[in-house]
Structure 1
């Protein structure tokens, strides 16, 4: 569909308005998820679409526009947080799996409460790792980008992406295992 919209290299204002309308919710959700602040999220959202408009002609595969804009949004939100010298959380694969399992099983209240507590502790652990690790975790497990797509989006090697993902998961695991208050969710 998007290939039909952008026949020329630079979109018209109407075409870009269509892109904005199509991806507004997704981008807002992405940036809010990182910033956890509606004002910062609005700033990151606006910056994201400005960057996307300026660089739309660089996008080779128009069908991957959603992933491309989400990558811009993620990096922009992290940059906004860096400017504020603060960082928020992202979900990991473990949390996503837990949430899917809860939905499928129709878990009772006790399981839901326990899962929410686990989720909060994992999010807090993720909040404590560096921005470059949070970035690859978000792109991999929230946006479900492949290693190759992440590498292309971040302009780094695939092996660097794999290394960052491995180190991010390892750091989160260490935080959970070695923090006495988190031992109940899988620590020693």
Structure 2
């Protein structure tokens, strides 16, 4: 039996257990489904490294639990930041909040290299598809996706550091 066939058998055999394991941590159906997808992607990438196929269920449950815990922690961090931001801005008017948000976004975007900033703006502000941007830049779609992903990760990191600093300053 080939690796693909073995993996398909493993998927159909252990899908329910992996979902139950993820759901027991996250307590959210959609996030649990995302965790299952991520679990099986990781399992597929490392399927060759599993020497004893007798331990597939334990291996998958461990991956699933770890992925679910990571997703749960990420969701908690995002909810804490969102709640803290909402609390910090609750007394401001909509106009003040819009100005603060625009300044914050401008600061975030200016932290990126010019190329990454342009790519994000072309995709999210002007609505270009990844295919159109790849055509324009004469590069592959996967290269565009990678650069956009890295730029968004950098923005996320800068935003988290910046919003924490903003919250600290506003709490004084």
TM superposition score category, shorter chain reference = 0.3 to 0.5
Which structure has the larger Rg?
A: 2
What TM-score do the two structures reach when normalised by structure 1?
0.39
* TM-score, length of structure 2 as denominator length: 0.43
